[in-house]
């Protein structure tokens, strides 16, 4: 689903990613870990074409997208839940969901507004409320629902549980597990590395824009000293 080789990204003259490699086979879940500022979001933005790769290559579902626009890349079937949620404040929750509705790249239309509301029943009463008026948890649910409305093959979740109450965090992880069980590939960034390692097949840890550690999630979870050293928790 994703094949990244020797990726280098910059903001102006700041060299952020220093030759990142990663593979995400179709149907698998990959965790992306690392302390603040290590390049996780920059890596995601580079995959999506929001930050231009200065060197290296990104393939999505076998297609070289390194020089493509974010619009073209998303249309290959990527649902993106950005850091900070990116809910359109001046649109209602319903409009935030419906604006994203489209068949997947394979023509699938499994995800409808109804299915999103079954997944997140709390949004039912909030459909006509403005994106900025709903709680942080509801915004996060809407952001995940909106990404699912595109019927993606790959879901990318950047800090989808950030700043939420424990009960809502638990619910979001359950939904991530459902997404994964439905066969959608997932790339997950989250501060709670234990949850990430529980919900992924493989994981990698970024340190200053380089892959410092990578392997099966169960193997990483068993190496607490290495995680402590790299994640400082």
Residues in the chain: 233
Question: What is the token pair recorded at 187?
Answer: 């790339």
The answer to whether 134 touches 145, Cβ cutoff 8 Å, is no
Span of 33-41, 63-71, 96-104, 167-175 interacting with ligand ATP by CB under 6 A: 33-41
Question: What is the token pair recorded at 175?
Answer: 């939904």
**Which 8-state DSSP code applies to residue 100?**
T
Residue 8, strand partner residues: 18, 55
Residue 162 near which of Mg ion, ligand ATP, none (CB within 5-8 Å, type-dependent): none
Q: How many residues bind ligand ATP (CB under 6 A)?
A: 12
Span of 37-45, 134-142, 173-181, 196-204 interacting with ligand ATP by CB under 6 A: 37-45
Order of all β-strands in the sheet with 53-60: 14-24, 2-11, 53-60, 63-64
User: Nearer to Mg ion by C-beta: 117 or 203?
Assistant: 203
90 touching ligand ATP, by CB under 6 A: no
Span of 32-40, 96-104, 112-120, 224-232 interacting with Mg ion by CB under 5 A: 32-40
42 touching ligand ATP, by CB under 6 A: yes
Question: What is the token pair recorded at 2?
Answer: 């994703």
| Footprint (CB under 5 A) of Mg ion, residues 38-57 | 40-41
User: Nearer to Mg ion by C-beta: 109 or 233?
Assistant: 233
Residue 197 near which of ligand ATP, Mg ion, none (CB within 5-8 Å, type-dependent): none
Span of 65-73, 78-86, 160-168, 174-182 interacting with Mg ion by CB under 5 A: 78-86
The C-alpha atoms of residue 213 and residue 223 are separated, in whole angstroms, by 11
49 touching ligand ATP, by CB under 6 A: no
The C-alpha atoms of residue 21 and residue 7 are separated, in whole angstroms, by 7
Give the angle subtended at the CA of 121 by the CAs of 119 and 124, to the nearest 5°.
125
User: Nearer to ligand ATP by C-beta: 9 or 92?
Assistant: 9
């Amino acid at each position: 689903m994703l094949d990244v080789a020797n990726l280098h990204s910059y903001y102006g003259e700041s060299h952020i990613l220093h030759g990142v490699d990663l593979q995400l086979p179709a149907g698998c879940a990959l965790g992306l870990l690392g302390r603040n500022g290590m390049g996780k979001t920059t890596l995601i933005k580079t995959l999506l074409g929001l930050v231009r790769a200065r060197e290296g290559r990104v393939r999505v579902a076998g297609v070289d997208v390194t020089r493509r626009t974010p619009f073209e890349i998303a249309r290959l079937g990527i649902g993106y839940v950005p850091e900070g949620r990116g809910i359109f404040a001046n649109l209602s929750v319903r409009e935030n969901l419906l604006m994203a509705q489209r068949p997947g790249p394979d023509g699938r239309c499994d995800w409808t507004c109804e299915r999103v509301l079954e997944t997140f029943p709390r949004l039912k009463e909030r459909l006509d409320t403005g994106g900025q008026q709903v709680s942080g948890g509801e915004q996060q649910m809407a952001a995940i629902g909106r990404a699912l409305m595109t019927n993606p093959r790959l879901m990318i979740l950047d800090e989808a549980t950030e700043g939420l109450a424990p009960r809502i965090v638990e619910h979001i992880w359950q939904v991530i597990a459902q997404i994964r069980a439905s066969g959608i590939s997932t790339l997950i960034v989250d501060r709670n590395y234990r949850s990430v390692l529980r919900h992924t097949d493989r994981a990698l840890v970024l340190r200053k824009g380089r892959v410092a550690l990578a392997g099966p999630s169960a193997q990483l979870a068993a190496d607490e000293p290495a995680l402590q050293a790299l994640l400082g928790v």
